A and B are shown apart, each in its own frame.
Chain A
Amino acid sequence: MSSLPIIEIKSLVKVFGAFKAVDNLSFTVFKGDVFGFLGPNGAGKSSTIRMMLSLINPTAGEISIFGKSLLNHRKSILEKIGSIVEKPDFYPHLSAERNLLIFATMSGVSVTRKKVHEVLELVGLKGRERDKIKNYSHGMKQRLGIAQTLIHDPELIILDEPTTGLDPQGIIDIRNLILYLKNEKGKTIVLSSHILSEVELIATRMVIINKGKSMAEGSVKELLNSEDLVISINVDNPLKAMNLLEASPWSKSAKIETSSIVLHAAHEDIPEINRILMQGSLKVYGIESRRKLEDYFLKLLQEAV
């Protein structure tokens, strides 16, 4: 991963009537990033992505992609971007092959049928090239959406909810495809998704937005390590465990979940917690620590509330 900025968003604002969808948002995506773009529904993710693709006009702020202003260099920038915005839609009365040929032509490149077939094979649609889109399932359309982003071999790929509606195998396939595009093809990928575990698995950097504002931005690893672990302790008497930990610094975050207590603590605190419980004659069946994006995400949102 380099430190060459591919996307620079500065003080971006979008207002719809009286509603501020994006509020002074700034972030940077670097070359080679798989950049997670996260936020709850209505956070302003889609509006931001649409502005990055010139589908909607910003009210204020700057968008620079590949070092150029999107406002002044729309064509040359879009030539190097492949994107899915929300659900991918195609011409239903045309075949997958024909749809891809249309969008490749609109992208200013001339592609052969062989290239179209290669891309369709890459997304797992081999053998369905000539089928009309109206006969495609939602999952197949999602895969075709990815194929559409790749057909003109772009440098930057923007994927808005690419795994929506996919079965578990489909989600794994798309995850592997994103990693392949990053590692083997050197693509920069912006990934907006509700499936936080997916983002956690593949994103290198991320921004979390809420109500149009940036709440956290940085390396996924660093952001998650900046927080305490979520520790789940399976004991024979969770109520007694809560009482024992009442005077400890971890009591504030402790809560009972079925037969376990869950609390936030640092990795080095685990032996001390275990000692307190053992001294209280509790049977500790297991201690599991995790540091999940989902926890971090929810914690940020709760803090915002």
Chain B
Amino acid sequence: MIRVIGLEVMKIATKPRSYIGFLAIAIIISIIEFALYVDGKAYLEFITQSIEQTFYFEGNILNGYLVALIILSTLIIQIPLLIALVTGDLVSGEAASGTIRILLTKPISRMKILWAKFAAGGIYTGLILIWLGSLALGVGVILFGTGDLVALRSDGLVVLPADDVLWRFGAALSISYVSLMVVTSLSLMLSCFSDNSIGPIITTMAIIILFTIIGTMDVPVLDRIKPFLFTTHMIIWKNMFDNPLSVEVIRSSAIILLAHIGIFMGIATYRFTTKDILS
């Protein structure tokens, strides 16, 4: 199984499209960090204007930690697209290119092939997230230094001491990994139903957009389904910057996200192991 996963990782690594995500993240982070470096104070005044009369800030508020948090808040919404671009192609790309005909005549079970692709997709997702986190945090700290983190939440403000911040970024990226793996499993599932690469990628994004819209609509009838939409729980990483941590909320979100992964991969497994290869 390890060798098959290795081959799947190698296939991803040798495709030019796999680097679009890394390049896009690097460009976007560079632009944001440059903009904040040049005009950060004005930006900070803008976002803190509502609480300026209540609070007095002293010290380096615009530090690397805050910059990293701003970047994560901005980019985490776009990351699913970059991931689906690769993972939505894992099965359908083989069908489109015809290589699936050779692949599935080999003495290896279809389930192994699918789960190796899932594992490879998971490795790619992890690398994208590590790249995002290390660039946001690393470059942020180099350019802006460290300090206490002032995390603005919709319901208030959390100030976290500098020595209490790094593990929270680690935890936030970890729970983000779980939520992005939902996207990976969703796009892989859709990939099992398609013989072209574009369909699963677009459908994944369409589902995320639809669920996000449902999540933001204040209509009572939709309130019942909102807790079960994976998009509702994709922003749970922000809870890692609460003080104290809302462990129960994080745990239930993680369970719902894992359940989504299980359901999507269950459907994908059934489809992939029973489908007729006609391409």
Contacts and interface: CB of A to CB of B under 8 A. Distances in A.
A107 B276 contact: no
B103 A106 contact: yes
Contacts of A83: 105
Contacts of A92: 97
A222 interface: no
Interface residues of B, number: 24
A55 B276 contact: yes
B101 A105 contact: no
Contacts, number: 74
A88 interface: yes
Interface string A78-105: 1101010111111111100000001101
Interface in A138-186: 148
A106 B4 contact: yes
A94 B106 CA distance: 19
Contacts of B105: 53-55, 78, 81, 83, 85
A255 interface: no
A86 B276 contact: no
Interface in A93-136: 93-94, 102-103, 105-108
B107 A94 contact: no
Contacts of B3: 105
Nearest to A78: B107
B14 interface: yes
B99 A90 contact: yes
Contacts of A90: 99, 102
A138 to B, nearest CB: 13
A78 B107 CA distance: 5
A148 B102 contact: yes
A93 B16 contact: yes
A93 B14 contact: yes
Interface in B1-24: 3-4, 7, 10-11, 14-16
Given A91-B11, A93-B15, A57 B107 contact: no
Secondary structure call for the A interface: loop
A76 B107 CA distance: 7
A86 B106 contact: no
A106 B7 contact: yes
A266 interface: no
Contacts of A86: 98, 101
Contacts of A148: 102
Contact of B101 (A55, A75, A78): A55
A248 to B, nearest CB: 51
Interface of B: 3-4, 7, 10-11, 14-16, 97-99, 101-109, 274, 276-278
27 contacts: A53-B104, A53-B105, A54-B104, A54-B105, A55-B101, A55-B277, A74-B107, A74-B109, A78-B107, A83-B105, A85-B102, A88-B102, A89-B98, A89-B101, A89-B102, A90-B99, A93-B14, A102-B7, A102-B10, A102-B11, A103-B103, A105-B7, A106-B7, A106-B108, A107-B107, A108-B106, A148-B102
